[in-house]
């Protein structure tokens, strides 16, 4: 699978999002639509961006009882996105239910990945706030193995854990990694981060990049830099 950069379109309105995407007159970047934009604009924004020729990662991180997740995924499968996700903490049964709901009658479906631990979560926070006494690395690998058992295509994890996940689950198990910043950029509110070049060395398949591109003085140039450092 070819490596790719996914731009996190963390905007609050259709107008902001389309104005941003209008800057990309050449290559149509792979984009992530998260909770903020989806809750503001609904499914229509997904359809409009898809019609413009973009691949879409719909990042809603479903986490509920299995039956609810199954039904929700059956609705999302109609949006023709390329990737969506659930929280691995929802258990193997919930992930399996999500996969069932996402799979269309003809057997086709988007990629389904599971969130292991958010990149804003440090080991100390995980152990103190969530009362998970294992190390963060062991927890992430365990969650990844559960996702694989459930039949999912891969996981979301920080670039720092992508190598461990590949070692535990195989090279074909997809890793999608946020928490990527340019070496000369600001860290922001994320804890477990790395650079595009280092993410490439580690072997992750996709990196999700938001503010370093969306808030750049020249977003297209920032995207091209990210692609050059990671995917080319």
Residue owning tokens 């509920």: 64
CATH H-level, domain 4-230: superfamily: Aldolase class I (3.20.20.70)
CB 157 within 8 A of CB 181: no
**Which tokens go with 47?**
């359809």
Residue 113 and residue 169 in contact, taking contact as beta carbons nearer than 8 Å: no
Q: Which two tokens stand for residue 85?
A: 């996700």
DSSP annotation of 90 reads G
Q: Where are the domains of the chain?
A: 4-230
| Distance between CA atoms of residues 139 and 45, nearest Å | 35
What's the CA gap between 232 and 227, in Å, rounded?
6
φ, ψ at 178 (rounded to 5°): -85, -165
- Check if the beta carbon of residue 50 is closer than 8 Å to that of residue 56: yes
Closest CA to 146 of 203, 71, 85, 96: 96
Closest CA to 216 of 15, 24, 2: 24
Residue 74 neighbours by CB under 8 Å, 6+ apart: 101, 102
CB environment 164-181: b (16+ within 10 A), e (fewer): bbbeebeeebbbbbbbbb
Q: Please give the pLDDT value at position 121.
A: 82
* 165: phi then psi, degrees, rounded to nearest 5: -65, -45
Q: How far apart are CA 4 and CA 176, in angstroms?
A: 10
Q: How far apart are CA 65 and CA 101, in angstroms?
A: 13
The two three-digit tokens of residue 101, written as one number: 């709901």
Positions annotated as catalytic residues are 61
Burial zone of 151 (CB within 10 Å; 0-12 exposed, 13-18 middle, 19+ buried): middle
Tens place of pLDDT for every residue, the chain, 232 residues? 689 999 999 999 999 999 999 999 988 999 999 999 999 999 999 999 999 999 999 999 999 999 999 999 999 999 999 999 999 999 999 999 999 999 999 999 999 999 998 877 888 998 999 989 999 999 999 999 999 999 999 999 888 889 999 999 999 999 999 888 887 766 555 455 789 999 999 899 999 999 999 999 999 999 999 999 998 8
């Amino acid at each position: 699978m070819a490596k790719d950069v996914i731009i996190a379109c963390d905007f609050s309105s259709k107008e902001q999002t389309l104005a941003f995407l209008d800057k990309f007159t050449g290559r149509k970047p792979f984009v992530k639509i998260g909770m903020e934009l989806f809750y503001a604009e609904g499914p229509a924004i997904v359809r409009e961006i898809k019609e413009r020729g973009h691949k879409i990662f719909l990042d809603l991180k479903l986490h509920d009882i299995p039956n609810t997740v199954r039904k929700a995924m059956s609705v999302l499968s109609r949006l023709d996105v390329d990737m969506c996700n659930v929280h691995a903490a929802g258990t193997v049964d919930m992930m399996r239910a999500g996969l069932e709901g996402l799979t269309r009658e003809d057997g086709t479906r988007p990629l389904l990945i599971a969130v292991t631990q958010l990149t804003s979560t440090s080991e100390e926070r995980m152990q103190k706030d969530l009362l998970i006494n294992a190390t963060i690395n062991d927890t992430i690998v365990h969650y990844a193995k559960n996702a694989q058992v459930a039949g999912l295509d891969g996981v979301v994890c920080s670039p720092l854990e992508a190598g461990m996940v590949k070692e535990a689950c195989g090279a074909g198990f997809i890793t999608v990694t946020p928490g990527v910043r340019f070496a000369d950029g600001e860290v922001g509110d994320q804890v477990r981060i790395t650079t595009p070049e280092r993410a490439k060395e580690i072997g992750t398949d996709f990196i999700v990049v938001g503010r370093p591109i969306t808030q750049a003085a020249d977003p297209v140039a920032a995207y091209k830099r990210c692609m050059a450092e990671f995917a080319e």
